[in-house]
A and B are shown apart, each in its own frame.
Chain A
Amino acid sequence: MTIGMRGLHVYILLAAAALALVFADRLSSYWMHVAIIAMFYGILASSWSLLAGYVGLFSLGHMAFASIGGYTSGLLVQWYGIPIPLGMLAGIAVCCALGGVIGWVCLRMSGPYLAIFTLGFAEIVRIIFATEDDITSGMAGLHVERLFDTPSRLPYFYAAFALLAVSLLLMGLIVRSRWGLFLRAIREDEQAASASGVAVARFRILIFAIASGFAGLAGGFYGHYIGILTPSLGGLDFMAVLVVMTVLGGMERLPTAVGGAFAVEFLLEILRGYGQWRLPLFGLLLLLTMRFARNGLLAPLWLQFVRLGESPAVTATAAQDVPQKEPGL
């Protein structure tokens, strides 16, 4: 192989994506649904890895932002009859703003303290959505207008695909830019980062706002796809599933986080026969991953995949994890 084949993995991914798009209509309605949900989680897992993996901000409020995005859009569409895309944009805007505020308030917190704080925030949001039932219909669930006026799931598949692709593209641009470098520097050592001229506070707020915005996008899509929203979307169990997905795949890279989301969602369906035993099973899998494969199960596979097109000599010297100026995700 020659060095000219570098970036082969990008072409393979593009080819796979093209195949998925072309043959999507052959999927059964059931598996199409699984794929759509997997892509919904893909947006959430990658944006959470932006927070927890890249910057080390272990927020447990990510699903709460998805919930806020969903309810905001659903309610605005219901109340004012605005077009759904506009409602989703409003949901994103609310999440960005609120995410920025949360990011600002917890600037001085780190590690477990930030986790506790965001857990508190998430539970308050859930309680409010569950309790204010004259607005949200509480635990009975809010009926949300569906995005497409058709029983077919194909349009949702394409929409989810597009949203995931655009999200990954934007997030990929962020982590590959100098911002990505600054974010990782903040994760490694905030004090040293600020001594190196990185505006730590500004970046922490910014990344909270951005990640929450993507969560809001995912939540908005979810609501308008499923057609009903319950407060449990922002609850601890959904958050735990998201943590399982991201950590299992590998939380320090976007592709592995998305891979984790896909794999776990797929397994959840395969193992449907085991009913509710699946949840403790995935809890166990998370514990085992943390114990024996800290960087995630997909991380080593991804590194191999990225090096597919490289000559052995290049592979040997490339101890580097994240190359700086390669195109693609």
Chain B
Amino acid sequence: MSAAAELLRGAGLVKRFGGIVANDAVDFAVGEGDLVGLIGPNGSGKTTLINVLTGHLAPDGGQVVLRGRPMRGAAAHVYAAMGVARTFQLTQLFARMTVLENLLVPGLTRPGSTWQAVARRARTTLEFLNLAHLEQLHAKNLSGGQQKLLELGRCLMLEPAILFLDEPFAGVHPHLRDGLIKRIQELHSAGRTFVVVDHDMESILRVSQRLVVMARGRKIADGPPAEVREDQAVLAAYAGL
């Protein structure tokens, strides 16, 4: 964990589904300005961890502390209001709403927001993502890569302090992928905090300063990428697949 102030912490998080323990006492902390890569084999509990950390699942044990405030089972929209944004493993847009409307929704949930200001900000965001020419299209008509970008844009409209990106590179055309990585890097240098989950080690290593590795519901490594790559437990987890 970096020296910066702590933004979000999950302490001893446990989540079970029936008999399966998806998260087994996971400690996970993110500091202001971090760019964390979260990796692990399929079924290692990464998405569950994100769901718990963003309020979409209530943990069976442990707690989430956001900006020093214990969240105690708050609903996901409360997290969103406190600056926690996320994307989904399989893109979840408002399919039969226009590209612009997809961005208006999160923008207008901000207290004190006005239509005009939010619409202006949405158009700026669309330009940043190279989607401006598509603003009147229904979201379902976008390509897979464009949908991922739009989902990122929807996160940005919350003016989030931290963004959780769940497999942002999966199924994205390599050309768009480079664009996406560039956007993430730009946003990060502008002060946003990121947690990026992916299988794509190459992309993850290009962006992240810190790697967290999960296997079988537990965190097995946490540190600078160079160290983690040499870690015996990590190698074992991946080889043991």
Chains A and B directly touch (beta carbon < 8 Å): yes
Contact B54 A195 (CB under 8 A): yes
How far is the CB of A145 from the nearest CB of chain B, in Å? 45
Question: What class of interface size applies to chain B in its complex with A?
Answer: 20 to 34
How far is the CB of A64 from the nearest CB of chain B, in Å? 29
Contact with A along B104-120 (1 / 0, CB 8 A): 11101110000100000
Q: Which of A185, A189, A197, A201 contacts B80 (CB 8 A)?
A: A197
Contact with A along B166-209 (1 / 0, CB 8 A): 00000000000000000000000000000000000000000000
- Does B162 touch A at the CB level, under 8 Å? no
- Does A194 touch B at the CB level, under 8 Å? yes
Contact with A along B85-111 (1 / 0, CB 8 A): 110100011111110010011101110
Chain B residues lying within 8 Å of A185, measured Cβ to Cβ, are 94, 97, 105
Dominant SS among interface residues on chain A: helix
- Does B216 touch A at the CB level, under 8 Å? no
Chain A residues lying within 8 Å of B96, measured Cβ to Cβ, are 184, 188
The CB with the most chain B CB atoms within 10 A, among A194, A195, A324, is that of A195
Contact B75 A192 (CB under 8 A): no
How far is the CB of A184 from the nearest CB of chain B, in Å? 6
Known contacts being A185-B94, A320-B136, A324-B115, is A194 close to B80, with CB within 8 Å?
yes
Complex: A195 Cα to B95 Cα, angstroms:
15
Chain B residues lying within 8 Å of A194, measured Cβ to Cβ, are 55-56, 75-77, 80
- Does B158 touch A at the CB level, under 8 Å? yes
Known contacts being A182-B109, A319-B136, is A198 close to B97, with CB within 8 Å?
no
- Does A34 touch B at the CB level, under 8 Å? no
Contact B81 A184 (CB under 8 A): no
Known contacts being A178-B115, A197-B81, is A192 close to B136, with CB within 8 Å?
no
Known contacts being A188-B96, A192-B88, A324-B115, is A181 close to B104, with CB within 8 Å?
yes
Q: Which of B54, B77, B98 contacts A198 (CB 8 A)?
A: B77
How far is the CB of B108 from the nearest CB of chain A, in Å? 4
- Does B154 touch A at the CB level, under 8 Å? yes
Complex: A321 Cα to B138 Cα, angstroms:
9
Chain A residues lying within 8 Å of B54, measured Cβ to Cβ, are 195
Chain B residues lying within 8 Å of A329, measured Cβ to Cβ, are none
How far is the CB of B107 from the nearest CB of chain A, in Å? 9
Chain A residues lying within 8 Å of B233, measured Cβ to Cβ, are none
A191-225 at interface with B (beta carbon < 8 Å): 191-201
- Does A21 touch B at the CB level, under 8 Å? no
Contact B75 A197 (CB under 8 A): no
- Does B137 touch A at the CB level, under 8 Å? yes
23 pairs across A/B with beta carbons < 8 Å? Answer: A178-B108, A178-B115, A188-B95, A189-B92, A189-B93, A191-B76, A191-B92, A192-B88, A192-B94, A195-B54, A195-B76, A195-B80, A195-B85, A195-B86, A196-B105, A196-B157, A197-B81, A197-B110, A198-B105, A200-B75, A318-B136, A321-B98, A325-B115
* Given A195-B77, A197-B77, A320-B136; 14 other pairs, CB 8 A cutoff: A182-B105, A185-B94, A185-B105, A188-B95, A191-B88, A195-B54, A195-B80, A195-B85, A196-B77, A199-B75, A201-B75, A318-B136, A319-B98, A324-B115
Footprint of B on A, CB under 8 Å? 178, 181-182, 184-185, 188-189, 191-201, 317-321, 324-325
What 8 A-B pairs are tightest by C-beta distance, nearest first?
A197-B109, A197-B80, A196-B106, A188-B94, A194-B76, A192-B92, A178-B108, A185-B105
